[in-house]
Amino acid sequence: MSRRNIMSLTCGVAIAMTATASAAADGMLKVGTEGEAPPFSMADANGNVTGFDVDVANAICAKLKVKCAFVLQTYDTLIPAIDRKRFDVIISGLGITPERQKKIAFSIPYASSPQYFIVAKNSPLAKITSLDAIKKALADKTVGVVTGTIYARFIAKNIPTANIKSYDSLNQLESDLEAKRIDAAFDDAASWTDFLPTPAGADFARVNVKVVPSDDMTTLSPGMAVGLRLTDTALKQKIDDALCAIIKSGDMKAMSGKWFHDDYSLPCN
């Protein structure tokens, strides 16, 4: 499996990265994120990073009165990397799962999105309207997912006879979908926001089957949250307080609308 080079950015400007990180030390919070998952996080050729994850991180940093430094690497390496102290927190559309809770701590959930299958417009799969039907239809087909995601686990559990093809990034998955190397792709609604309107996505459609956490609570997450080391209890409380303030102010809803054209924000309980 290939692994992207790690870059460290502050407000979109490259900075030197140390081998270890201490939570919010020297007025800085180091944030691990993917960088290749629009509209969650996107890094351009100059190293500038934007997206929903970045806006959420910057809003948290503003509440904590620190600067955000973004460390970019592939999604499936984020949890191992935080344990090695490459950064302080993970903000990368990270879903809460029981397995992940054994390895890292989570903030309160702040957003959630439904999941969809993407297929070629001329495929018989495009006409399916129920989850049971799409499961049966994909039983002997090739389904693309991003490695290490809850979506990959959903397919592995619910369509075990499918040929599952895993990718390090959403961009790689979309390239194989466009090249017709896979029959379907599965990810959340936000991941398809930018792809479908583009020339690359012109021949593809979202199957009219909305997959939500209640369809399988054992693999799908109750929501996205900030990931932290298990020992960083004080930082977790600060981030929980910051997220609650951001949600109650309506800023989380506004950021969601900006990137997803929908309200993905969750209430602060």
**SS (HEC) of the chain:** CCCCCCEEEECCEECCCCCCCCCCHHHEEEEEECCEECCCEEECCCCCEECHHHHHHHHHHHHHCCEEEEEECCHHHHHHHHHCCCCCEECCCCECCHHHHCCCEECCCCECCCEEEEEECCCHHHHCCCHHHHHHHCCCCEEEEECCCHHHHHHHHHCCCCEEEEECCHHHHHHHHHCCCCCEEEEEHHHHCCCCCCHHHCCEEECCCCECHHHCCCCCCCCECCEECCCCHHHHHHHHHHHHHHHHHCHHHHHHHHHHCCCCECCCC
Q: How far apart are CA 90 and CA 72, in angstroms?
A: 10
List every span in the chain annotated with CATH 3.40.190.10: 7-111+222-260, 115-215
pTM above 0.95, yes or no: no
Q: Is the separation of the CB atoms in 40 and 92 below 8 Å?
A: yes
172: Cα separation from own chain's centroid:
15
Give CATH for domain 115-215.
3.40.190.10
pLDDT digits (tens, 9 = 90+) for 135-178: 999 999 999 999 999 899 999 999 999 999 999 999 999 999 99
Q: How far apart are CA 250 and CA 104, in angstroms?
A: 28
Dihedral of CA atoms 254, 88, 99, 259 in degrees, nearest 10, equals 20
* Lowest mean pLDDT segment, chosen from 14-28, 204-218, 251-265: 14-28
The answer as to CATH 3.50.50.60 being correct for domain 7-111+222-260 is no
Q: Is the separation of the CB atoms in 115 and 189 below 8 Å?
A: yes
pLDDT digits (tens, 9 = 90+) for 206-237: 999 989 877 898 888 788 999 999 999 999 99
Provide CB contacts within 8 A for 197, sequence distance 6+: none
Q: How far apart are CA 138 and CA 155, in angstroms?
A: 10
Q: Is the separation of the CB atoms in 185 and 117 below 8 Å?
A: yes
Q: How far apart are CA 269 and CA 246, in angstroms?
A: 13
Percent of the chain predicted with pLDDT > 70 = 91
Question: Does residue 95 have a pLDDT over 80?
Answer: yes
